[in-house]
Amino acid sequence: MCGIAGIVGVSEPAVRAALEQMNGCMVHRGPDDRGVELVSVNDSWVGLAQRRLSIIDLSAAGHQPMVNPETGDLLIYNGELYSFQRLRKRLEVDGVRFVGHSDTEVILHALRRYGPTCISEMEGMYAFAFLDRLAGKLILARDPMGIKPLYTSELPERSGRGLMFASEVRAMLAPGMLDPNIELRGLAGLLAHGAVPEPLTFFRGLRMFPAGCYQVFQIGRSGQVRPEAVRPHWTFAPPDPAVQPAEAVMSVRSALDAAVKDHLIADVPVGVFLSSGLDSTIVAALAAKHSPRIRAFTVGFADAPDMSEAPLAAETARLFGMEFRDIQITGGSALGMMEQWLRSMDQPSADGLNTYVVSKAVRDEGIIVALSGLGGDELFGGYSSFSDVPRIRRAMARMAWLPPGVRAWVMSMSGFGRPGQVREKLADMGRTGANLTGLYVHRRRMMSNRRVAALGLDWRALGMTDTYLTQDGLASAAIDADLERTDPVAAVSRLESVLYMRSTLLRDSDTNGMAHSLEIRVPMLDKRVLDLVHRIPGGVRLPDGVANKHLLRTAFADYLRPDLVKQGKRGFTLPVRRWMSGPLRPYCEEAVKVVERSGLVNPGEVRSIWNGFIANPEMQVWSSALMMVVLGSYLRQLRERHFAPIPNGE
């Protein structure tokens, strides 16, 4: 796990200075080692830099940027390749000799020997840059689900043109080579969804590299970079109606067992995030099977013992023979961490505080790698959206003859007695009609169309869809009308995976784990598991149409005690709304004032959102107020880092 950065430019001193700045602001991603390499290619300068968190091959043989001594090829790489031992054996048969035993060295030689087609064989989480020195080509790639981030941008003319990329937005901005113009579509997407939806970022011209893809860049003279077409190395497998329940149960058990076994590979201490939930319980059980001395960690909020998952988690650890640690966070310490979380954001997001708190607690215990159950809800149907969205779609189909305005009124009235913003989102769903993708997005949204427009960001003026996503952002979910009609469960699974998990959960998990130099691994999203589960029809995953992860429960019934199965969906929660209206109120109100004065949004609507929350913090939909605090805090951090964001993006 690392942080990577790279520049293709015309000036050697400028590239070197910029790389040092980029690398310097990612120490948290790699406190164990650092490296910078510059080479001349076709009269241009290519610079690659890396911060290393040593996990596999702790010796100097794992140092990056890694150089192929025979060809001069360079590689920088962030992530873990769980299939590297199998790929290494193949390379050794082909005559490749290795110096160390890192997965980085395997990727370096595989790309030289087999070219970018070998990326489709890689099983892991990764973002990397490979310089083919002889051919004058740079290859960028990102793992299938986008577990590891990679941001890219063309350099403006004032910076000499060229290409820049890095693991974090802050690294991209650090050298001052890019203009920090606010991307209004990214801002609108942030307000609508709670996180900036890919491929957008908060800044114009800075984009997230597409997951499951690679791209080749031809390096020309004087910093000229000619990009070839982005090519997918992975796509969702279509549902196979021939898959039978018994086959699915056996296959899921086998694939997830193999995934967890491979995710335990490390030369440093590995732990497991263990709650009372099904996903983490299954991951812990499989981890204990393959690594009996692995440690399990449960983090709870000491001020609310009635919400603690520790008793159930402790019993799980005892039954599996795992060493167990119950870490209790006090209100005072968690409150302080919330301020740290707000001040450390790479991009603004309303999600991720829990991961930030848990990651710090586990890293303080000496753990460097932690396994998480993230992905189980999206793959196996743990969210109510898996049952709600198909049901609402059927209702919309029956109302197809009604005008959109009437459907919106009917849906709004169905939410009578609920908060106004909930009713507004229901109205948005009514206008959408029987389009499953649109219904899903409006249901998942943080703010309604009316609220975002009232803040001064209308989707029509911004050239976005009425879901406040871009067309290419929607296209990345790969949902067609036939899949919506024939297998809505599979369709919702893809939507949850791409539009929510990728843009919010995975990005925030990476950012908040790496803030404490903790690598979070997600075996539920192993490529073998992804390929298998997406082939399984929705009728097998959820035969009753109820969002209860039926297939996962069935495949691992022997690991799931009745007291775990019977409980409702739970999680580590913090009383954020109470802090916002209590001890953190002065900090929050200062942040809200920053948003009001920013020139980005309508200040009157910002004040209305905040005042509505303060008047009734328990009953009001409070996530919009948190979003104002997050946005204001982030804008203030930009100012303190001496960036001067341009409100209108001009």
Average pLDDT over residues 515-539: 96
Q: Which pLDDT value is given to residue 650? A: 36
We report the CATH number of the domain holding residue 337 as: 3.40.50.620
Classify strands 151-154 and 207-208 as parallel, antiparallel or unpaired: antiparallel
Average pLDDT over residues 89-94: 89
Q: Does 650 map to a domain?
A: no
H-state helical runs in 445-505 = 449-454, 459-462, 471-475, 481-486, 488-495
Q: pLDDT tens across 117-163, in order?
A: 999 999 999 999 999 999 999 999 999 999 999 999 998 877 778 89
pLDDT tier at 58, thresholds 50, 70, 90: low
Classify strands 369-371 and 519-521 as parallel, antiparallel or unpaired: parallel
What residues contact 539, with CB distance under 8 A and at least 6 apart?
Answer: 487, 489
Average pLDDT over residues 535-560: 94
Q: Does 546 map to a domain?
A: yes
The answer, yes or no, to whether residue 649 has pLDDT greater than 50, is no
If asked whether residues 187 and 262 sit together in one domain, one would say no
If asked whether residues 223 and 266 sit together in one domain, one would say no
Residue 474, domain extent: 385-497
Burial class (CB in 10 A: 0-12, 13-18, 19+), 231: middle
Q: Hey, what are 321's tokens?
A: 């023979």
If asked whether residues 273 and 205 sit together in one domain, one would say no
Number of domains in the chain: 4
CA 359 to CA 353: how far, in whole Å? Answer: 10
If asked whether residues 274 and 288 sit together in one domain, one would say yes
If asked whether residues 47 and 161 sit together in one domain, one would say yes
Q: Does 63 map to a domain?
A: yes
The answer, yes or no, to whether residue 533 has pLDDT greater than 50, is yes
The answer, yes or no, to whether residue 32 has pLDDT greater than 90, is no
Percentage of the chain surpassing pLDDT 90?
A: 64
Q: Where are the beta strands (DSSP E) in 53-142?
A: 66-67, 74-81, 124-132, 137-142
If asked whether residues 62 and 123 sit together in one domain, one would say yes
If asked whether residues 97 and 182 sit together in one domain, one would say yes
If asked whether residues 58 and 203 sit together in one domain, one would say yes
Higher pLDDT among residues 132 and 268, named by residue: 132
Q: Does 52 map to a domain?
A: yes
The answer, yes or no, to whether residue 96 has pLDDT greater than 90, is no
If asked whether residues 432 and 417 sit together in one domain, one would say yes
We report the CATH number of the domain holding residue 43 as: 3.60.20.10
Q: Does 629 map to a domain?
A: yes
Q: Hey, what are 407's tokens?
A: 């459907």
If asked whether residues 219 and 136 sit together in one domain, one would say yes
CA 117 to CA 441: how far, in whole Å? Answer: 34
If asked whether residues 13 and 106 sit together in one domain, one would say yes
Which of 469, 497, 525 corresponds to the end of one domain? Answer: 497
Q: Does 295 map to a domain?
A: yes
- In this structure, are residues 160 and 462 in contact, taking their beta carbons and an 8 Å threshold? no
Q: Does 502 map to a domain?
A: no
Q: Which pLDDT value is given to residue 222? A: 79
To the nearest whole number, what is the mean pLDDT of the chain? 90
Rounded to two decimals, the pTM is 0.94
Burial class (CB in 10 A: 0-12, 13-18, 19+), 318: exposed
Q: Which pLDDT value is given to residue 306? A: 65
Percentage of the chain surpassing pLDDT 70?
A: 96
Classify strands 2-9 and 44-52 as parallel, antiparallel or unpaired: antiparallel
